[in-house]
Structure 1
């Protein structure tokens, strides 16, 4: 593969793939689970520590295996083809493609702010609860457009990635600054005054909607359950940074630049996320965050900051953010499926590069399946179910750093995990707590995704039946 991506391009890929639609939405659900500005910030800090610790740990593996495929390659090299395939299976069926579909749909929904008829027009097709809307068609168009652009060569995708990632970083910095300058009345002290015992036990009406009454202080394991439930949102907003490892084969000096990109990119994004949440807490009271219309807390905050123009400003920002995010996901994901194909674990046609030296067939396979998920309308449910599995695979990969240190201590390591073994153990500890608490309190987020990945086992044996 041609080394056309420099360190700056890799950092932009990390940041662009992470910043999608989540940061503009998930804080509403998090506040309903937490009930306090204090705990909202604490959960984002925990997620930040967790994310950066994983990135630091992955750096060691990226220096040992500096080739395309990233996490799939690490898992295959350390634990064998079966583990690698299960990750790749999950990545293709829902992790990467489901995220692409969800981000594209977020682009469509926020476009509807600027073009209202997208929201109010009748479905193109409807049969029972299944329907095809113009927003879905717009989402599919964006996926296919970005897929086509990336088939034109890695430089086309790189240019688009740098442009849109740079734009949304500047826009977020502007939102953070103006979120403190233009707000007439600060709710920051009020939101932090609820302190450490401001968790809630919210009631629902007959339609399943949250009632704006019923905040109750809870403690003990219920408090930990609230933190775990809230972390589903913050973790979802903080994944995809590992996409840069998928394109290691096209990065200059990957043994050094991949780890630098992951650490610098994840650290910068998590600081931005925490600052944006301070803006929400400054501009809005607790109920306005928790019960923001359609979960769009960024829209509500933007209206408080900028007045009536706020809706348009935030809609444009989210459109830029989601468009750039999807470009990064599409660019990186196809490289994993190409590597799997070379190992005999994916369609053989995905191996071939086109005249522009990119895996065109793998790109289109990924784009078409993501489009199908858009039409199905099930991408949101799938992503909720898969959050548990994403963290499990992160944990297995981070454990791989410790496993290799024990099994192959003499292996050449151009980069060694900073503060080893503390850093990987910090991630494994937080990740284990998160997964165990979800198993106790939010089973709907756990076993369906785990089952989906396990379905990959018979597929693996079917592919390898002649071996």
Structure 2
């Protein structure tokens, strides 16, 4: 007989490792190049990471109240459904399944393959296995699919298997990043540092070899928003721990605490890593790094010829652990949606190992499809808008639920309420509005995908009511 309920086996350390591990992928080693090109100075590079870190920690502190109120699987989907209505919850779940989680899993898996190719060139993007017209299928895409299937299989064997990989790989990559920061201090180059900080607050479009072209007027704000797309993507997925609330011991305490500890730890590591970049590479070297691989360029300065291999191994560890966290947590959302009759019925069942096996395999298929398509990279830029919009809606839900359900038990209340939640909403709103005006190609595709969920929701409801009657 299969147990219909999740078993709480994850401790505070495990939950914190899921927060940190789901956040740290390949972004920290890459996106600083694009940020530098957008803002053009050392001070603004660090400021972008600090602003993003502040927003992330603020949101995490706010989610603590919601996770304490609804300590069950599904996380953000459940919060939106409870604060607003089932449609808003479904639109998040639909966006989460169709792009947010599955395209991220694909992108992280391909990043794993790309950096594996530094050690084993045969699995690189240039090794084309199949070509049909303009469609090319590379060895890197094949390896990414193998990794997604392998991690999905491991997670179908039970939460303990996923937990062991998550905690081990996250601790390893945190120690590796701390090692990079420490060795970066030994490789500190005073002349590079001084040059980078000569004019720290110039804000302009930076072109390697040419310098900074200052922005004027409102374009300044647009540049900051565009720069934050990369840092927000690199800092995203911190909320994954809320999806597995049903498997965390003492969730009312441990989810909120793990959200705070995990996001704070990653923010400190990200800022310190960027300070190391500025200590060993000139702005030209950061903005003009080959294929934006700033981490590789920095490691070559810090470790010499072995730097490429060292950073490749670090990113392999980082992306493998990151994808395990994404795969483990994501399936719990589809399981909860299926229980609400808004997803494939089979996804609502647990297998003999007390995990949502069918939901894991549904997610696996969609993520593999994104890997084959090769279109996930652009989509991830496009969904930053949608991700932040749903974060704002969720945090606004705290205000709604305090009015709708004033007597509902709240073992933890949002830190800094109402100031910090309002501040996040204002910052998030500014980010989204600026993207609409200055980077519309980053907004409308994600919005269209989300809105496609409306007819799908009503079609499911109509079909469900037809079957009920």
Instruction: Please indicate the TM-score interval, normalised by the length of the shorter structure.
Output: over 0.9
- Give the distance between the partners of 2:220 and 2:247, measured in 1 at CA: 45
Is the counterpart of residue 108 in structure 1 residue 113 in structure 2? yes
TM-aligned CA deviation for residue 223 of structure 1 = 1.3
Q: Which residue of 2 aligns with 1:434?
A: 431
- Give the distance between the partners of 1:163 and 1:270, measured in 2 at CA: 20
Contact 1:44–1:234 (8 Å) recurs in 2: yes
- Give the distance between the partners of 2:354 and 2:191, measured in 1 at CA: 53
Q: Which residue of 1 aligns with 2:392?
A: 395
- Give the distance between the partners of 2:42 and 2:14, measured in 1 at CA: 35
Contact 1:125–1:132 (8 Å) recurs in 2: yes
For residue 132 of structure 1, give the secondary structure of its aligned residue in structure 2: strand
Is the counterpart of residue 464 in structure 1 residue 436 in structure 2? no
**Larger displacement relative to structure 2 (132-141 or 215-224):** 215-224
Q: 1:114 to 1:122 in 2, by over 3 A?
A: closer
For residue 124 of structure 1, give the secondary structure of its aligned residue in structure 2: strand
- Give the distance between the partners of 1:232 and 1:38, measured in 2 at CA: 18
Of 288, 293, 298 in structure 1, the residue corresponding to residue 290 of structure 2 is 293
Contact 2:32–2:274 (8 Å) recurs in 1: yes
Of 344, 348, 351 in structure 2, the residue corresponding to residue 351 of structure 1 is 348
Contact 2:203–2:220 (8 Å) recurs in 1: no
Q: Which residue of 2 aligns with 1:205?
A: none
Matches within 5 A, 1:124-135: 124-135=129-140
- Give the distance between the partners of 1:442 and 1:227, measured in 2 at CA: 11
How far does the alpha carbon of each residue in 1:118-176 deviate from its partner, in whole angstroms, 9 at most, with x for none?
Answer: 33754111123211100000000000000000000000000010110000000000000
Q: Which residue of 2 aligns with 1:63?
A: 68
Is the counterpart of residue 166 in structure 1 residue 171 in structure 2? yes
Of 364, 368, 380 in structure 2, the residue corresponding to residue 367 of structure 1 is 364
Contact 2:169–2:321 (8 Å) recurs in 1: yes
Of 185, 188, 192 in structure 2, the residue corresponding to residue 180 of structure 1 is 185
Is the counterpart of residue 5 in structure 1 residue 2 in structure 2? no
Which blocks of at least 5 consecutive residues in structure 1 are unaligned? Answer: 203-210
- Give the distance between the partners of 1:379 and 1:186, measured in 2 at CA: 39
Of 152, 156, 174 in structure 1, the residue corresponding to residue 157 of structure 2 is 152
RMSD: 1.2
- Normalised by the length of structure 1, the TM-score is 0.96
TM-aligned CA deviation for residue 214 of structure 1 = 5.3
TM-aligned CA deviation for residue 194 of structure 1 = 2.1
Q: 1:214 to 1:187 in 2, by over 3 A?
A: closer
Contact 2:241–2:329 (8 Å) recurs in 1: yes
TM-aligned CA deviation for residue 184 of structure 1 = 4.6
- Normalised by the length of structure 2, the TM-score is 0.96
TM-aligned CA deviation for residue 431 of structure 1 = 0.4
- Give the distance between the partners of 1:92 and 1:407, measured in 2 at CA: 29
How far does the alpha carbon of each residue in 1:36-56 deviate from its partner, in whole angstroms, 9 at most, with x for none?
Answer: 010000111110110000000
Q: Which residue of 1 aligns with 2:322?
A: 325
Q: Which residue of 1 aligns with 2:88?
A: 83
User: How many equivalent pairs are there?
Assistant: 459
Contact 2:15–2:248 (8 Å) recurs in 1: yes
TM-aligned CA deviation for residue 447 of structure 1 = 0.9
